[in-house]
Structure 1
Amino acid sequence: MRRLLLALPFALLPLAVAHAAAEHDHDHEHGSLGAHEHGVARLNASLDGEILELELESPAMNLVGFEHAATSAADKAKVAAVRAKLEKPAALINLADAKCTLEQKVLKSPLFGDEPDHEEPADEDGDEHHEHSEIHAQYRFRCVAPGSLTHLDLAPLFKEFPATQKILVQLIGPSGQQGGEMTAQAPALKF
């Protein structure tokens, strides 16, 4: 029996290599989430007692419709409108009957005048590559009735920002840790 257990990792090695190669090919075809993928956002959510923390990371394309620096009056107005919407997360996230109040919010993006998280390297000709702007929103809520918060519902966010096709979620709550995918057709995830 011990030999079988010792041999098992080696027997599964070809499967792991094949899976890794398939993932690598998939990442090059469609972009990986670690990279920058239009239409896809990430959300980390944590409910600990009365404190609910949410961190949304999204390509600016999903929320604003472009990623370049806003230079025209129309682009500046669009960035300002998106920022104003993100300043009011209760209108974007349905927190059921948990009676949550926003305690803290942090919004960051090169489009908001923040420094970019990284600089794109120049290519061999010295030309800079296209900057992939992201928008990061962090929220901290205090919920008077956290037991009423049985699920996280992002239907209003999908409605407000239709270019966001899916949100990959990592959730830590009373039931433990889980991951999931939310879409406009399935915008809720149970805690």
Structure 2
Amino acid sequence: MARTREFDDNAVLDAATDRFWRQGYAATSVRDLGEAMGLVPASLYNAFGSKHALFALCLDRYLDRNMRERIERLEAKQPPRVAIETFLNEIVARSLADPRGCLLVNSALEVAPHDAEIGAVIAARLAELEAFFHRCVIAGQRDGSITAAPSARDLARLLLTTVMGLRVLSRARPEPALLRGAARQALTLLDPPACTN
């Protein structure tokens, strides 16, 4: 008979995510994780298998809560151009509010180059974000709110690059004018050409 877990999964995963987020994967030891989660190493291994498996679970959970839920919310409730603007504005706000940066970007820089499994997770999630932008751009080109000049694919890639750039830049220069200005400039590239009569 399997033993019932004597801890709250959400609470311990939140604690582990925060520790990985603050310290990075390599600098976070199993002892650090156990301390943060309130678990002895044996319990941690029994519940999650390994530090690597725990990190993968924390990253996936973070991305579901922070990226996938935002995409679903914006696509369901806002016109395409507004959804893109809101997404970028929320990224700027989060970047300014949280000195830890973005766990996805932190992991892409630290872990992905040396870990094919985590690299594949990150690549797949970045592809989801690009696909969200691509759908919005296509819909915006159809309704006239986004320029039809560059291809939808190129604009989606530009928006993905903008998000990643904002997140990286915010770690070194968390300046509101800088980040808001960069986001604003990226959005101007979506503007349809002005009508001249």
TM-score band by shorter chain is under 0.3
After TM superposition, the score normalised by the length of structure 2 is: 0.23
**Larger fraction in strand:** 1
**Larger fraction in helix:** 2
